Structure 1
Amino acid sequence: MSERLLELAERIRSELSDVERLVGRVQEGWLRAERSADDLYLDSVALNLHGFYAGLERLFQTIAAAVDGTMPRGANWHQVLLQQMAVEAPSSVRPAVISERSRDALDEYRGFRHIVRHVYTFKFDPGKVQPLVEHMQTVFRQVRSEMLAFADFLEAQGREEERD
């Protein structure tokens, strides 16, 4: 178990680096969309916003399976998973992975990810994309900080198990 916790901590750090690259791509795409008024850049921004949330959600799925031992099911499993990450898991004795504040902020990106998957790209409304872009760096900084703290928790648990 200890090796698995240490590997998960490393994966969290690695995946967060990839997600951070997406944040930069969103910012750059938005600037280009504003300068050129080319809606193809808006498509790029939407795709990278989708990737931003999808990358975090993959980490949440891994944590749910590996640490909590349970993955939500059903039509609203995406929402339930996000909620699961914002509460302590007594069955596996883990702290909340993210705060309720982060959960609320990420829920906006989760909802947008759903739109990207189900709407034609030429129907994206720049007015609805803009707030997501504007808040993304702040949201990511907060989530990144919380998830790195969780990775530190996993490492401490893994090292403690190695000593025992």
Structure 2
Amino acid sequence: MSDSDRLRLLRAQLEDDYQFIDESARRHTDTVVRARHAQDDEMATTAVAYLVHNVYTAFEGYFLRVAKHFENSLDDAAWHKELIDRMKIAIPGIRPALITPDLVEPLDELRRFRHLFRNMYKSRLRKDRVNEVSEIASQVVQEFEQCHKTFADWIDTLLAAEDTEG
């Protein structure tokens, strides 16, 4: 597969990932509305937490694609946090920043919650904490829309330049 073809594949995969993020966010929003009507229902809180987990995991998948395509390596020890930090950095001659610096902390908050959610044992979710990260997830999805569009446009510009040259 040529470099141009790999870039086209990445562009298609990122669009698919973004659509999944958007779909997950819609399911999350619908579940939040239902959970509000459920009063103190533990299952409703768990459902919202699960969807926050899914939203963050979808972001991580998107970021991994970008890192693997352009940078080809991540430190094994703390790669989850490093991945978020890398996405805010423009790498001259390689790629622009994917996310704004303002998204780093909210994304890291979602990452920490996802870790907690995946590793819960003999404890319960706190509804107030789930509501807090739920709001953060909604905010991040909203702000990421422009980041995705800008990055996708940059890839499209690269592809158009290659088409003109080739």
TM > 0.5 fold call: yes
Distance in 2 (CA, whole Å) between partners of 1:18 and 1:131 is: 22
Residue among 34, 48, 52 paired with 2:51: 48
Q: Give the structure 2 partner of residue 86 of structure 1.
A: 88
**Structure 1 residues 21-41: Cα deviation after superposition (integer angstroms, max 9, x where no partner):** 111222222222221232111
Distance in 1 (CA, whole Å) between partners of 2:33 and 2:51 is: 14
The letter of the residue matching 1:58 is G
> How many percent of aligned residue pairs carry the same amino acid?
25
Whether the 8 Å CA contact 1:30–1:45 is kept in 2: the answer is yes
CA RMSD, aligned part only?
A: 1.7
Q: Give the structure 1 partner of residue 145 of structure 2.
A: 144
Whether the 8 Å CA contact 2:110–2:136 is kept in 1: the answer is no
Distance in 2 (CA, whole Å) between partners of 1:42 and 1:68 is: 38
Residue among 6, 9, 23 paired with 2:11: 9
Structure 1 segments unaligned to the other structure (5+ residues):
none
Distance in 1 (CA, whole Å) between partners of 2:157 and 2:150 is: 11
Q: Give the structure 2 partner of residue 23 of structure 1.
A: 25
* Count, aligned residues: 162
Structure 2 segments unaligned to the other structure (5+ residues):
none
Distance change >3 Å, CA 130–CA 121, structure 1 → 2: farther
The letter of the residue matching 1:80 is E
Deviation of 1:161 (Å): 2.2
SS in 1 for 2:161: helix
**Structure 1 residues 125-150: Cα deviation after superposition (integer angstroms, max 9, x where no partner):** 01111122223333212112102210
Q: Which portions of structure 1, spanning 4 or more consecutive aligned residues, are displaced by more than 6 angstroms? A: none
Whether the 8 Å CA contact 1:33–1:39 is kept in 2: the answer is no
The letter of the residue matching 1:24 is R
Distance change >3 Å, CA 139–CA 121, structure 1 → 2: farther
Distance change >3 Å, CA 33–CA 121, structure 1 → 2: farther
- Structure possessing the higher relative contact order (Cα contacts under 8 Å, 6 or more residues apart): 1
**Structure 1 residues 88-137: Cα deviation after superposition (integer angstroms, max 9, x where no partner):** 123x5211010111122111111111111101486110111112222333
